[in-house]
Structures are given as C-alpha cells and as structure tokens.
Amino acid sequence: MDVTIKGLNSVRARLVPGLYRPVLEQMFTFIAHTGETVAKNNAPRDTGALKRSIHSNATDTSARIYSNLGYAVPVEFGRRKGARMPPPRALRGWARRHGMPESAAFGIAKNIQKRGIKGRFFMKKAAEAIMFKMPFQIKLAEKRIAKRFSSGRY
C-alpha cells in the first residue's frame, strides 16, 4: 500500500517560526503577568519590599516570575523548627517597626529557631493560578496560530 499526501510540502514550508512565535510570546506574557500579579497580591507586607521585588519576564518559549530578595525563599517555604536561627540583625528593623526594642531581635530569632515559622506560599499560589489558566491559554494560542496559518499573514 502506498499513501501519497499532496500539498504536504507546501504546508511544511508555511510552518515557520514567524507563524507561532508571536502568539506564544503573547501567551507567555499573559501567563507571566498573571503569576506576577497573584504573587504580589499574596506576598506578606511589612515594608512592601518583598512585593516590590517580584518581577516577571517572558519570551516565546517561557515565562519566569521571581524575586531577587534573599529572604524571599524563607518567607515562601518557612523555616522548620530546630533549623539554624535566622540572623538577628535581619530582624532588628522588623522588631522596631512592631514597637519592640532592636535588642529583642535575638530573642525573636531564637524563638523562630525553636518553633519554626509557617511558609506563606505566595509563589505557590501564583503557580496554581497559572496552572488553572494554562489550558485555556493553550487552546487560545492554538486558535490564533490556526487563524494566522489559514490567512497566510505572518
């Protein structure tokens, strides 16, 4: 049995990166913006520095949501009890802003070491929001690519 598909070479020739890359970049930009917004809305606020440190970027192949603050990871995941004590100097400002003397920072750090702290999972909530929206975004991108393909505009 021989099967011949006529026109397949012309279809392959039209499947160029210019067809799908702009659509995928649009999709990943939407996803990055969604994740950044959810992460910022769920980030705990004291000074607002953590919220301001959350950024996103997107390309035609990926989206990234991140924070460049060193304490973002312990805030996200928390600290287990018995783990190493956080540096007291990092807690001086927090103590002062909450009406305590800066000298209380050592006691707070020891207490965190003894009891641990719960994670706030602001980035996990962003990932969950992305996973919820992704199937629809993929179908939308598929339709946009098909429309571009059939119109020949790309």
CA angle 3, 9, 10 (to 5 degrees): 130
pLDDT tens across 19-52, in order? Answer: 889 999 999 999 999 999 999 999 999 999 999 9
Within 10 angstroms of residue 106's Cβ, the number of other Cβ atoms is 16
pLDDT at 8 (0 to 100): 65
- Supply angle C-alpha 143, 64, 69, rounded to 5: 160
Conformational region of residue 67, where left means phi above 0, alpha means psi within -120 to 50, and beta covers everything else: beta
pLDDT on residue 18: 85
pTM for this one?
Answer: 0.84
Question: Per-residue pLDDT for the chain (154 aa), expressed as one digit of tens each?
Answer: 565 667 767 767 777 888 889 999 999 999 999 999 999 999 999 999 999 999 999 999 999 999 999 999 999 999 999 999 999 999 999 999 999 999 999 999 999 999 999 999 999 999 999 999 999 999 999 999 999 988 877 7
pLDDT at 4: 65
Distance separating alpha carbons of residues 86 and 112, to the nearest angstrom: 7
Burial 69-99 (b: 16+ CB within 10 A, else e): eeebebbbebbeeeeeebebeebbeebeeee
For 98, phi and psi rounded to 5 degrees? -105, 20
